[in-house]
């Protein structure tokens, strides 16, 4: 759909709700609602502010859906994530997301007929096809069945030599599952070899230490991947992926999938089996954008000064999707990304709403880029300010669970008190980023820090007579163990230890509204029990005194005579 003509951007005034109240929009990253037991870090944490909001139920506090089809994912079994969550929050409508679009392109075979694949195919006669991405079935950044289909389809369409550069997960799936995925990958590669394709694993490393950094937090992460994938150099050299994982784990009691050190696979003569060379094709097979953009820049940009690439091979490179529509990065891709247009951010700015958005680096793109439909930059520099607080680098966040929550709270407070903004939007990363480490104690501290930051912002809203909307993008910290789906009891591993859940969840998330500026008659509607994140944009527009566009998912609020 094309954008409306300039007149169509005008949002009608809400018949009952006035403009002019400062609205704070707080997104608690990874903050869902689940049974209140000892493995629910949010429940165990002391969170007086979030608890007090709950007392407003059902009129001012409720739960909304943040997973599966409600955020454009293929099935009810798909947990939510930041990309789809913030896309839905900002866009006010549900778009089929990358996971679903790639499924469709593979099922119909259309992926192999597109211009992106044809471009890759140009290298098949003389070069190697390199596939780089996350080895996982988490469905957040990638899915293993899609990699399988891509390998098989590429072979069927003429690829003679395939090299896989695998990033181990342990963040969207259980820690330790890299062994299972590696075993499966090695079997699948062997199957291809039986069919006459020279198919091998070429390199590997853990996603958080190798390649998958985001928002330019730490280019060393991408460099480590570049050295292994492109140059064929890494401190660790092995004959197979499984051997690599076994050795690296045995050598380090703290080994985990997310932070596995980089390794390359070598042949009998000690030579790396799959560096990326001139004339090769490269596909980054993750569908999700944030953690592929930095590598895409390194692979595609001629001018590049983030690290010394040493050798820049002349390759035909395509992303599974285009990761950044504004930067047109990468310029070639296999599947068209969702076209997320007419986001609430764009509407509001075109209706004069002054916006301040803030988070720390690791989530900064979430409240800006994802929120605006995977679009970089400001809509209007006169009306908007996006403020990034640098994240700590090179640590796992259980070492520093407070992260920058209080700094984000302070920035938001100052923006609210300045009177310069109508909307102040933040993402508080703690529950999610620390939840992903699987460290329950640290996650409890993280949740307490996020709660304090919420309080700072709500206090500022109190002072200026404004309104707040507090919600989350998906669950994480509320469930830190893998459970038996029938009994909800924690599952044990073969050694009798509780299986820690580092991933997101499928639980709903809270949404709360309030503040002195909220008209007394405003309450959550009772007729939208299945409401989800996509209903939030219209709700925000109403709170700012506007009607939402007709095709937005309906607002969660109504105004009754009080
Ligand atoms: O990229 C990550 O850190 C995880 O895979 C998903 O977390 P997010 O969706 O909250 O960013
Ligand atoms: Mn998130
Ligand atoms: Mn997360």
Are 158 and 277 in a shared domain? yes
Q: Name the helix (H) or strand (E) containing 522.
A: strand 522-524
Atom 10 (ligand 1) nearest CA: 82
Distance 436 CA to ligand 2 centre (A): 10
Nearest CA to ligand 1 atom 8: 82
**109 and 177 inside one domain:** yes
Which atom of ligand 1 is the closest one to the Cα of 474?
A: 10
Residues framing ligand 1 (Cβ under 6 A)? 29-30, 81-82, 140-141, 171-172, 291, 432, 436
pLDDT at 6 over 80: no
Take atom 11 of ligand 1 and give the residue whose Cα is closest.
82
- Rounded CA separation 121/282 (Å): 10
> Best substitution site from 137, 172, 368, 431 to test ligand 1's pocket, by max atoms within 8 Å of Cβ?
172
Distance in Å, CA 532 to ligand 1 centroid: 19
Q: Which two tokens stand for residue 85?
A: 């969550």
416-439: average pLDDT: 98
Please tell me whether residues 270 and 232 are part of one structural domain: yes
289 appears as a binding residue in the annotation: yes
- Which atom belonging to ligand 1 lies closest to the Cα atom of 30? 10
- What is the best residue among 368, 504, 533 to mutate for testing ligand 1's pocket, by most ligand atoms within 8 Å of CB? 504
CATH of residue 423's domain is 3.40.720.10
**Ligand 1 mutation pick, 209, 259, 288, 436, max ligand atoms within 8 A of CB:** 436
288 annotated as a binding-site residue: yes
267 is in an annotated binding site: no
Around ion ligand 2, residues with a beta carbon closer than 5 Å are: 29, 82, 432, 473
Residue 12 lies in a domain: no
Asked whether residue 432 is marked as a ligand-binding residue, the answer is yes
Per-residue confidence at 1, pLDDT binned at 50, 70, 90? Answer: very low
Report yes or no: 511 and 528 within 8 Å, Cβ to Cβ. no
169 in any annotated domain: yes
Residues 367 and 298 reside in one and the same domain: no
Point out the ligand nearest to the CA of residue 86: 2
Ligand 2 centre and the CA of 474: distance in Å? 6
459-475 confidence digits (pLDDT tens)? 999 999 999 999 999 99
- Asked if residue 283 lies in contact with residue 363, where contact means CB atoms within 8 angstroms, the answer is no
Whether residues 69 and 128 share a domain: the answer is no
User: What is the reported pLDDT for 385?
Assistant: 98
Q: Is 172 annotated as a binding residue?
A: yes
| Ligand nearest the Cα atom of residue 167 | 1
Asked if residues 292 and 286 have their Cβ atoms less than 8 Å apart, the reply is yes
| Interval 423-442 mean pLDDT | 98
Residue 262 predicted with pLDDT over 50: yes
Options 5, 6, 46, 82, the catalytic residue: 82
Answer whether residue 11 is part of any domain.
no
Question: Any known ligand binding at 171?
Answer: yes
**Weakest mean pLDDT among 129-133, 292-296, 488-492:** 488-492
Claim to verify: residue 176 and residue 276 sit in the same structural domain: yes
pLDDT at 7: 62
Of 75, 206, 186, the C-alpha closest to 134 is 206
Ligand nearest to the CA of 428: 2
State percent of the chain over pLDDT 90. Answer: 97
**Ligand showing the shortest atom-to-Cα distance for residue 27:** 2
Are residues 71 and 108 located together in one domain of the fold? no
With CA atoms as reference, report the closest residue to 522 among 85, 23, 88, 89.
23
The verdict on residue 369 lying in a domain is yes
Residue bearing the CA closest to ligand 1, atom 5: 172
Count of structural domains within the chain: 2
Residue 526 contacts by C-beta under 8 Å, 6 or more apart in sequence? Answer: 58
- Residue 181 falls inside a structural domain: yes
Both structure tokens of 206: 């853990």
Are 185 and 78 contained in the same domain? no
Q: Is the residue at 278 inside a domain? A: yes
Of 303, 335, 367, the residue that ends a domain is 335
User: Tens of pLDDT along 517-539?
Assistant: 999 999 999 999 999 999 999 99
Q: Say yes or no: 293 and 323 in one domain.
A: yes
Contact call for residues 144 and 292 (beta carbons, < 8 A):
no
Domain boundary among 317, 335, 353: 335
- From the CA of 86, how far away is ligand 2's center (Å)? 8
Over range 281-295, report the average pLDDT. 98
- What rounded mean pLDDT belongs to the chain? 97
pLDDT score for 494: 87
Range of the domain at 551: 29-95+340-559
Q: Whose CA is nearest to atom 1 of ligand 1?
A: 291
Residue 351 and residue 250 share a domain: no
421 and 346 in a common domain: yes
Q: How far is the CA of 81 from the centre of ligand 1 (A)?
A: 6
Using an 8 Å Cβ cutoff, are 513 and 487 in contact?
no
Query: Among this protein's residues, is 344 annotated catalytic?
Result: no
Three-state SS letters, 11-57:
CCECCCCCCCCCEEEEEECCCCCCCCCCCCHHHHCCCHHHHHHHCCC
Residue among 83, 88, 140 whose CB has most ligand 1 atoms within 8 A, to mutate: 140
Q: Is residue 427 part of a domain?
A: yes
- Cα 82 to ligand 3 centre (Å): 6
What is the ipTM for the molecules in this complex? 0.98
Could you tell me if 141 and 74 lie in one domain?
no
pLDDT digits (tens, 9 = 90+) for 56-111: 999 999 999 999 999 999 999 999 999 999 999 999 999 999 999 999 999 999 99
- Is 157 marked as binding a ligand? no
pLDDT at 2: 43
Domain boundary among 307, 335, 363: 335
In 3D space, the residue among 358, 506, 501 whose CA is nearest the CA of residue 438 turns out to be 501
Q: What is the pLDDT of residue 226?
A: 99
CATH label of the domain that carries residue 201: 3.40.1450.10
pLDDT at 35 (0 to 100): 87
Is residue 428 in some structural domain? yes
Residue 279 CA, ligand 2 centroid: distance in Å: 38
Say which range, 171-180, 191-200, 277-286, 490-499, has the weakest mean pLDDT.
490-499
Kindly report the three-state secondary structure assignment for every residue of 495-521.
CCCECECCCCECCCEEEEEECCCCCCC
Report the sign of the C-alpha dihedral through residues 458, 462, 466, 467, in that order.
positive
């Amino acid at each position: 759909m094309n954008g409306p003509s300039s007149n169509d951007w005008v949002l009608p005034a809400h018949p009952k709700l006035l403009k002019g109240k400062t609205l704070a929009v707080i997104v608690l990253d990874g903050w869902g609602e689940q049974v209140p037991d000892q493995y629910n870090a949010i429940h165990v944490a002391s969170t007086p502010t979030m608890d007090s909001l709950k007392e407003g139920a059902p009129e001012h506090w409720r739960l909304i859906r943040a997973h599966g089809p409600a955020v454009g994912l293929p099935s009810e079994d798909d947990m939510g994530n930041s990309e789809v969550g913030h896309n839905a929050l900002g866009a006010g409508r549900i778009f089929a997301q990358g996971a679903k679009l790639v499924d469709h392109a593979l099922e119909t075979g259309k992926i192999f007929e597109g211009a992106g694949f044809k471009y890759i195919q140009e290298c098949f006669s003389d070069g190697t096809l390199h596939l780089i991405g996350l080895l996982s079935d988490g469905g957040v950044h990638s899915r293993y069945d899609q990699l399988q289909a891509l390998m098989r389809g590429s072979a069927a369409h003429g690829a003679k030599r395939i090299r896989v550069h695998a990033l181990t997960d342990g963040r969207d799936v259980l820690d330790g599952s890299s062994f299972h995925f590696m075993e499966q990958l090695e079997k699948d590669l062997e199957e291809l070899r039986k069919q006459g394709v020279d198919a091998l694993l070429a390199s590997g490393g853990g996603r958080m230490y190798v390649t998958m950094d985001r928002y330019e937090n730490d280019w060393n992460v991408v460099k480590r991947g570049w050295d292994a994938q492109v140059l064929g150099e890494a401190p660790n050299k092995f004959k197979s992926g499984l051997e690599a994982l076994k050795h690296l784990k045995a050598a380090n009691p703290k080994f985990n999938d997310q932070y596995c050190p980089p390794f390359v696979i070598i042949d009998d003569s000690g030579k790396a089996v799959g560096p990326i060379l001139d004339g090769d094709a490269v596909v980054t097979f993750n569908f999700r954008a944030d953690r592929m953009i930095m590598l895409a820049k390194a692979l595609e940009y001629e001018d590049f000064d983030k690290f010394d690439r040493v050798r820049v091979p002349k390759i035909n490179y395509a992303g599974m999707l285009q990761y950044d529509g504004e930067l047109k990065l990468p310029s070639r891709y296999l599947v068209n990304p969702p076209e997320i247009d007419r986001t609430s951010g764009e509407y509001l700015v075109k209706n004069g709403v002054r916006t301040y958005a803030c988070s720390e680096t690791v989530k900064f793109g979430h409240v800006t880029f994802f929120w605006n439909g995977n679009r970089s930059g400001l809509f209007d520099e006169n009306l908007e300010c996006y403020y990034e607080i640098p994240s700590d680098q090179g640590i796992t966040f259980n070492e520093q669970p407070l992260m920058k929550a209080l700094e984000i709270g302070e920035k938001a407070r100052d923006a609210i008190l300045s009177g310069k903004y109508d909307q102040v939007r933040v993402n508080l990363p703690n529950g999610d980023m620390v939840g992903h480490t699987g460290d329950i104690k640290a996650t409890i501290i993280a949740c307490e820090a996020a709660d304090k930051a919420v309080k700072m912002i709500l206090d500022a809203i109190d002072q200026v007579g404004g309104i707040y909307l507090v919600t989350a993008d998906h669950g994480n910290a509320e469930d830190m163990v893998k459970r038996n789906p029938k009994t909800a009891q924690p599952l044990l591993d073969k050694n009798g230890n509780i299986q820690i859940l580092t991933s997101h969840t499928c639980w709903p998330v809270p949404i709360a509204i309030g503040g002195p500026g909220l008209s007394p008659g405003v309450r959550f509607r009772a007729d939208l029990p299945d409401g989800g994140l996509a209903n939030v944009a219209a709700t925000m527009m109403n709170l700012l005194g506007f009607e939402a566009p007709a095709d937005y998912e309906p607002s969660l609020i109504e105004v009754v005579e009080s």
